[in-house]
Amino acid sequence: MLEEREIYLEETEDYANGFYTRDLLTKLGEVEGLRVPRVRKGGFRPAILPERRRAGLDLAEVVINLYAAGVSTRKISQFLEGIYGAYYSPQSISRLMKVAEEEVKAWKERALSEEYFAIFLDGTLLSIRRNGVEKEPVYLALGIRPDGSREILGFFKRVKPAWDKKSSTFYYG
């Protein structure tokens, strides 16, 4: 973080201004009294630390996976308190889920490459919890670019066709 601040100071007209302390939750436990360098004008943020959050990204992944598995926000809150020793209200968990949903939406609406060497389509059965646990197919589209890199183009659940009596046609939705 010190080296990061030095690079920042070389590129701006700002000055080092000591440190502040903060705690950070990680998957290996809590780091207490972490000394974070700061600058006078306040524009520096170390890239390694999540901004305005007490926990690292791994905690967000845990919450998303628990939520996706059908665990209630109240039980997720109890889990985090038991494992990490930190209390997050069910409302905080709900806000985190809204942020995750926004990120998924942005990913789905991103621009795709104009050229792919090959596109593979495949599917897998996942256990989905609704009224009990049911297996549903999820289809995956994978594109391989001309440089050999791979990109997930999208994933889709099975769409059941429905009969529209007015127009006498099937539609998918």
Residue 70, CA atoms < 13 Å, CB-side half-sphere: 8
Cα 60 to Cα 95: distance, rounded to the nearest angstrom = 11
- Rg over alpha carbons for the chain, rounded to the nearest Å, is 23
| Dihedral of the alpha carbons of 33, 39, 42, 48, in degrees to the nearest 10 | -50
What is the pTM assigned to this prediction?
0.43
* Residue 108 pLDDT > 60: yes
Residue 118: which pLDDT band, with cuts at 50, 70 and 90?
very high
* Residue 70 pLDDT > 90: no
* Residue 59 pLDDT > 80: no
pLDDT of residue 116: 92
Locate the domains of the chain by residue range. Answer: 2-108, 118-172
Residue 79 backbone dihedrals phi, psi, to 5 degrees: -60, -50
pLDDT of residue 57: 47
* Residue count (the chain): 173
What does DSSP say about strands 16-26 and 29-39: parallel, antiparallel, or unpaired? antiparallel
Specify the residue for token string 């998957």: 27
